[in-house]
Amino acid sequence: MGDVLPVSQQPFLYQSANWVWLKREFSAWCELHGYQYVETPVVEELELFKRTSGETSDIVGKEMYLVKRSSGEAGGDDATLALRPEGSAGVCRAVVEHGLAKNAAGLKFYYIAPMFRSERPQRGRYRQHTQMGAEIFKEASAAADVEMIAMLAGFYNRIGLGDITVKINSVGDAECRPRYREKLIQFLEILRDQMSEDSRNRMHANPMRALDSKDDNDKRLFADAPTILDHLNQDCADHFEEVKQGLAKLGIAFEVNPRLVRGLDYYTKTAFEFECNTLDGAIKVIGGGGRYDGLVAQLGGPSTPGVGFGTSIERTLLALESQKIAIPAFPTPRVLVAYMDSGVKYDAFRIAEDFRAEDIHTDFLYQAKNLGKQMKHAAEQGVEYVVMVGGEEWERGEVRVKNFKTQEQSDIPKESAVHYVRGRMAGKL
RNA sequence: GCGGGCGUAGCUCAGUUGGUUAGAGCACAGGAUUGUGAUUCCUGGGGUCGGGGGUUCAAGUCCCCUCGCCCGCCCCA
């Protein structure tokens, strides 16, 4: 990502008002569903990600930023730490470390946090991206999967994003997936010499991903490949069935894609992705997630089911931009308190504080040479009222209040200026 | 990680076969206008020409390296 600044010439993606708004919307939506905020460190033990994401995954294999310990620390110069490439592993680690899975039921967490992957950056794909995610622990029921999908769909809907396609799949579990995997490798072996080099390299490390090849010839070759959905055991099949039925009952449209695979090895049963059709192919996926029933146990905790999702702020903003969805700008001041000369500057300052104490967004210039400058500033900021301090009326204990829209102005006792303006503003509504 | 394109003022860009002190528009600041903004006129501040090295009497311009952004892959969010 680049610098996120309150500058209107910045690209939409990097305007800070957009970020503030999106994060607030997400927090509010999660809290409405009973999720509570968590934060975990950016830097974790490298081993955590190796163990959870899978040694053969691209993320661990070539996209992780490695961090050396300081030379004074035990462990010396070895790069045994890493910048987190994804969010779930750290949250699971915290759940295990604090024994959270042992006592509370229905743990529901959300987070908004930067993730790091060492790749060649391009539009919609950054070395640092910010993920908004949620996780549910200790819930094996398919209803939890349904809530995750419904919640993310509801979030996009809440922020006005349309043209979203929900794709779901089941990737099986530790029992049925290896069986399918063997069968798939057998199928691919026969085509070995005809497939693309990329697919040949992938077929043993991650055969399910090979099926997802973009090569036209591969697509044709793999058309009749066995699918995971035909090889699920009873438990996984029942679970998937309930997810589909649950989504249907909630009126959430979805497509089943038996070739959908996620980039991390720890997923079990449900996997899902959200595509935004107004974005280009490569960056269409703006969010995704799935179930990870083995993850907590893998980290040394009690056997604890979990399901989660993540969505990228960057891609979500690109999606909002592609649909020309207006995001509220930062609020601008409604009142400017101006002063005639520096002798009354702090009197004006105090009056500005009176307005702010009444929750009226009020501006004040620290060093204004003359009233003209302050008027110009008021115009640029689009304020509704200017309160002028100084001159004859100030001697009488009054301030001059100017309605910037109508040009009308009148002198008001200084202690009732706030109530005067507030009354006018309220009357206008 | 692989292949390609682009980096000149805050922004959009110009800059000839290498040749004085790198320009324009917009934006910004000051003044005309010391109790009232939008027009106009005048003046001004701003640049490591992405960075480093090389060739040359001379480099924004040519060569090499590097960083950043963008595009296509791999992969992902």
The per-residue pLDDT for A54 is 75
Helices (H) and strands (E) in chain A, counts: 17, 16
Closest nucleotide to A126 by C1' from CA: B77
Summary mean pLDDT of chain A: 89
3-state secondary structure of A369: coil
**Backbone dihedral angles phi then psi of residue A228, each to the nearest 5 degrees:** -60, -35
Closest nucleotide to A115 by C1' from CA: B77
Whether the CB-CB separation of A308 and A149 falls below 8 Å is answered with no
Protein CB footprint (7 Å) on chain B nucleotides:
1-3, 10-11, 30-31, 33-38, 68-77
Residue A64 CA to B66 C1' — how many Å? 22
Asked if the model's pLDDT at residue A82 lies above 70, the reply is yes
Closest nucleotide to A198 by C1' from CA: B74
Share of chain A above pLDDT 90, in %: 59
ipTM confidence: 0.82
Rounded to an integer, the average pLDDT of A382-405 is 93
A169-212: pLDDT as tens digits: 999 999 999 999 999 999 988 888 888 887 887 887 778 888 87
Residue A395 CA to B35 C1' — how many Å? 14
Closest nucleotide to A395 by C1' from CA: B35
The per-residue pLDDT for A72 is 60
Residue A238 CA to B57 C1' — how many Å? 84
The per-residue pLDDT for A291 is 96
pLDDT bin (cut points 50, 70, 90) of residue A71 is low
Closest nucleotide to A206 by C1' from CA: B75
First and final C-alpha spacing in chain A: 41
- Residue by residue, DSSP assigns A163-220 as -EEEEEEE---TTHHHHHHHHHHHHHHHHTTTS-HHHHHHHHH-HHHHTT---HHHHH
Residue A123 CA to B5 C1' — how many Å? 14
Residue A237 CA to B57 C1' — how many Å? 81
Distance, CA of A312 to CA of A317 (rounded, Å) = 8
Distance from chain centroid for Cα A400: 47
The per-residue pLDDT for A73 is 61
A256-289: pLDDT as tens digits: 999 888 878 889 999 999 999 998 877 899 999 9
Rounded to an integer, the average pLDDT of A74-91 is 81
Distance, CA of A336 to CA of A343 (rounded, Å) = 18
A212-253: pLDDT as tens digits: 777 778 888 888 889 999 999 999 999 999 999 999 999 999
Using the C1' atom of nucleotide B34, identify the protein residue whose alpha carbon is closest.
A370
A414-426: pLDDT as tens digits: 999 999 999 998 7
Rounded to an integer, the average pLDDT of A164-173 is 94
Residue A377 CA to B30 C1' — how many Å? 16
Whether the CB-CB separation of A352 and A337 falls below 8 Å is answered with yes
Residue A122 CA to B48 C1' — how many Å? 27
